[in-house]
Amino acid sequence: MAVNGELGFFVLVDAGEGDVHKIREELLKVDQIELVHCLIGPTDLICYGKAGSFEELHGVIRDKLATLHYDRFNPVVKTETLVSMEAFGKPLTAENFGHPERTAAWIFADISIAGAHAGEKLIAHHDEILSAHSVLGRHDTLLYVESDNLEQLMEVIDGGVRVLRGIGNEGRAAKALSHTDTRLVLMP
């Protein structure tokens, strides 16, 4: 959904045996991509960008990202695109989060309760959660977290994200998130 005339999107990149730092450099050359982080996990990079419309986003995927799949010397294995429907917290920009100086992670979360508004609730209670997006795609919510160390990051995950409660279908308190997947950011 375009907010202020811009459509936020995420691209998850599986670099295979490719050089993630070179792929990151190529991704940052795409005008619509604002932020690229190298990750530990099933995908090697996460990108955040903005497009003026779905047509522009389609062009980015078709014309710009697709060329990375066919790079002769450093091909990308696969990409997955998620569309941001709603954003909370600080804007995801290179200026704000391009090179984290603290322990950083992305948390991919699946919601088990309709209307849980997980990202908004978590940002309100955890200063370490800096940005949250409700997304269309394989996951329901993406959270960007920075903490002073791994122990503090685990406290946010175990004491906040994994125990978030909401009102379930039967009117009783229930766990709001059915699944989480945390991926640490590795930046030079």
Maximum mean pLDDT: which of 28-37, 63-72, 116-125: 28-37
Q: Write the class of the CATH domain 7-85.
A: alpha beta
State the Cα–Cα distance between residues 134 and 110, nearest whole angstrom: 10
CATH 3.30.70.920 fits 87-184, yes or no: yes
Indicate the pTM of the whole model: 0.86
Domain with CATH 3.30.70.920 in the chain: 7-85, 87-184
Q: Which of 86, 155, 154 is nearest to 117 (CA)?
A: 86
Predicted local distance difference test score (pLDDT) of residue 176: 55
Dihedral (Cα; 86, 87, 88, 93), 10-degree rounding: 180
Summarize the confidence of residues 108-123 as an average pLDDT: 67
Predicted local distance difference test score (pLDDT) of residue 17: 87
